[in-house]
Amino acid sequence: MLVRVENLEKSYGSGSERQAVLRGVSLAVSAGESLAITGESGSGKSTLLHLIGLLDAPDAGEIWIKDEDLSGLDDKGRAERRRHQIGLVFQQFNLVPSLSVKANILLQARLANRIDDAWIDALTERLDLNACLDRFPEQLSGGQQQRVAVGRALAARPELLLADEPTGNLDEETSAQVLDLMLELCADAHTALIMVTHSMTAAERLSRRVHLTGGQLT
């Protein structure tokens, strides 16, 4: 088992205004598996993904990657784990505008001190980005920017890729192309994929799916 979360709880706000977003969520994902998390807006999907991705800490519960409970790590510890074990893809792309496409793709791998030139070359070719490596994000289409974001997330060969509505800003055809590439590249790298999506069409492409409602999985 690569990822296991047990009885995760998370609330926001303070005092009488405090609102529970996750109410005892548990799930497990094996190495190389792909899991879709669906649910209505406000159901806690992104919060769950952020906790698994160590972008935030839970109020209660455990987050295990392999054989280690990471839920008690401080900010520095979480950042270190993200750098070496987790790739992240967001709906808004989140590319660095002052960096070229090539530099954006290499960013995560450089931080992890894990640059594999052959793998980077294969990524850029599979993502059809070789012709625009010297361009900047503002010079790319939305689909190209998201392919750069996928390449950046996978460049260091993370064990886990987390994607939050990765095709939400793309048209249907481009969405299908980006999802195809994500699934193929994750399979090549034996990377587990957890994806939050509103799209049942996208969710059905993954090997398993769960539904989040009222802060609990159904």
Q: What CA–CA distances, in Å, run from 173 to 9, 107, 150, 200, 206?
A: 37, 28, 17, 15, 17
Contact 199, 215 (CB under 8 A): no
Given this model, what pLDDT does residue 13 score? 86
CATH assignment at residue 117: 3.40.50.300
Given this model, what pLDDT does residue 59 score? 94
Question: In the structure encoding, which two tokens stand for residue 132, read together?
Answer: 């625009």
Q: Tell me which residue range forms the domain holding 13.
A: 3-217
Contact 49, 194 (CB under 8 A): yes
Given this model, what pLDDT does residue 106 score? 97
CA-CA-CA-CA torsion for 153, 156, 157, 162, nearest 10 degrees? -30
Given this model, what pLDDT does residue 15 score? 77
CA-CA-CA-CA torsion for 141, 147, 110, 37, nearest 10 degrees? 130
Q: Where are the alpha helices (DSSP H) in 19-164?
A: 45-52, 75-85, 101-111, 117-126, 142-154
Question: In the structure encoding, which two tokens stand for residue 44, read together?
Answer: 């806690």
According to DSSP, the β-strands at 216-217 and 19-29 are unpaired
Task: Break the chain down into helix, strand, coil percent, rounded to 5.
Answer: 40, 25, 35
CA 102 from centroid of its chain's CA atoms: 20
Q: What is the pTM of this model?
A: 0.94
Given this model, what pLDDT does residue 55 score? 94
Q: CB 138: neighbour CB atoms within 10 A?
A: 8
Contacts of 69 (CB under 8 A, 6+ apart): 62, 63
Number of domains comprising the chain: 1
Given this model, what pLDDT does residue 46 score? 93
Question: In the structure encoding, which two tokens stand for residue 73, read together?
Answer: 């790590």
**Which residues in the chain show pLDDT less than 50?**
none
